[in-house]
Amino acid sequence: MNEENITLYFTQGTSDKVYSARLHPVVGGWRVAFSYGRRGGPQTSGIKTKVPVTYEVAKKAYDKLVRAKMSKGYTPGEDGVSFTGTPDIGIRTDYLPQLLNQISQEEALEMVGSFEMFVQTKHDGERRGILFKDGEITAANRRGLVTTVADTVLKDLEKVPYCENFGGFLDTEDMGDHLVVFDGHLPPEDPEMVTYSELVTTPFSQRAETLAALRLHLHHQLVRNVIVDTPLRIESRDELLAFINTAYQMNEEGIVIRDGAGLYTPGRPNSGGPCFKLKFIEEATVRVAGVHPTKRSIRMEVQASNGAWWEVGNCTIPVNKKVPVVGVLVDVAYLYAHKGGSLFQPTYKGIRSDLDESSASIDQLKYKKTDAFVGRIETVPLTKMQKGNNAFFRKYNE
C-alpha cells in the first residue's frame, strides 16, 4: 500500500494545461485528491473520494482518474504529446476532424447558387474517425486518439471493400450501437501506401460519389450497424427549405451544408469554410460549477477570454441520467442566452468526456434571436444523388 502521485500535461493549439493526482493516506483510510489549471497559473483543487476509504477503493479510483485524463490526451511528459504504447492511454493517429462553423437559416438560403451545394442531416453522436491502414481498422475520437466502437459496428466495418489493405478513412458519428458515415474517402485501387494527407485533397463532390456507392455496397452486404448519410445536391431555395423542414419535422438536430469543391481541412476555420452547420436549437458545452445538495440540478459555467469562469444558470438532470460531478464538461441544449445572464430553457444532454475546457468558452453562446424561423412550406422533390460511378465501387454496383 504505497502513496502515489502523478502530474500530467496537455498541450494542443492554445491549450497548455496541467493535471495532478495524488493517492495518499489520511486519518481513517486513504484519499484521492486532484488539481488542475493552466501551466504556470493558479490551480483548482478537489477531492475524488469525499470521505476516507480503503486503500483498494482509493487505488481503483486513482487509476480510473489517471486513465480518464490520459485517454483525453494528457501525458506524464511535459511536452504534452500522447503516448503510443498502450491502448489504455490513447494512441495518437493521423485523424484530425474537419469542424464546422454555424450559420443561420437566412445565411444558408443566401448561399444557394453561389457554389455546388450538398446537404446532409446533422447527427447527434460522438465524432469518430475510422482509419483503414496496414490491414487494421482503427477508431479515433475527436482528439485523434484511438478509441473503441461496438463489436457489432467493427464487424460491419470489415465489410467495407478493401478494408484489409487500403489506407482510406471514414468520418462518422458514433451513435452507440451504430455509426453514421457522413464523409471520408476510399482510394480507387489497393495502393501499397496511401497517406492521410493524400486522401484529404479530394473535393467533396467526389467524396459524395464514394458515399453514395458505399451506401449501396453496404446495403448489398446487409450491413445494419454502419449507416451512410448520402449527400443530396441542392439547386434551389425551395429544395433547401424542403430539406430543412423535413429535418426539423423529424426532430433532427440540424443540417450540414457542404461545398462540392471543398477539401477536407482539419480544424475549424476562423470564419467561412467549405462546410457549415445549421442547428434548429442552440447547444453549448459548459462546466459543472456545482451540484444541488437535494435536487437533481447543476449550476453551469462558461469560460471568458480572460480565463475567468461565469455562471450561466441552473439545469435539471433527467431522472434517467446520472448527475454529473463538479468540474466535468456537459452538453446542454437551450433556446438562447441572455447577455450577462443565464441560458433560457436549458436541457441536459450528457457528459462530454472527449472535450477539454477550451470547449466551454463563452464565445459559443448564442443570444436571444430577433428573427423568427422561416415558415413551413410544402415539400419540394429533391434531386437524388446518382449512384457512385468511381472505379473503386463500380464492380460492387453492377
Instruction: Quote the radius of gyration of the chain (alpha carbons, Å).
Output: 23
pLDDT at 373: 36
Please say whether the structural domain 282-364 has been given the CATH code 2.60.40.10: no
**Dihedral pair phi/psi, residue 150, rounded to 5°:** -60, 145
pLDDT at 71: 75
- Residues 169 and 211 sit within 8 Å (Cβ to Cβ): no
- 72 three-class SS: coil
pLDDT in tens, the chain (398 residues): 888 888 888 876 567 788 888 899 988 899 998 888 887 666 777 888 878 999 999 999 998 888 888 877 787 765 444 333 323 335 678 788 999 998 989 999 999 999 999 999 998 788 999 988 777 888 888 888 887 787 788 889 988 875 544 568 899 998 878 899 999 877 655 444 445 555 567 899 989 988 998 898 898 888 999 999 999 999 999 999 999 999 887 767 789 999 999 999 888 888 889 999 998 878 899 999 999 988 999 999 999 988 999 999 999 999 989 999 999 999 999 877 887 788 988 999 999 988 889 999 999 998 764 333 333 323 333 343 433 344 444 544 44
pLDDT at 199: 55
Look at the domain 4-89 and name its fold. q64v53_bacfr protein fold (2.20.140)
- Residues 297 and 326 sit within 8 Å (Cβ to Cβ): no
Report residue 293 as a C-alpha cell.
445538495
**In the chain, domain spans:** 4-89, 101-280, 282-364
pLDDT at 147: 78
- Residues 75 and 81 sit within 8 Å (Cβ to Cβ): yes
- Residues 356 and 11 sit within 8 Å (Cβ to Cβ): no
**Dihedral pair phi/psi, residue 180, rounded to 5°:** -110, 115
Beginning with the edge strand found earlier in the chain, give each strand of the sheet holding 254-259 in spatial order. Answer: 101-102, 275-279, 254-259, 117-122, 232-234
* pTM summary value: 0.58
Look at domain 101-280 and name its CATH class. Answer: alpha beta
List b or e across 208-220, with b for residues whose CB sees 16 or more CB atoms inside 10 angstroms: bbbbbbbbbbbee
| Residue of 8, 68, 59 whose CA lies nearest to 36 | 8
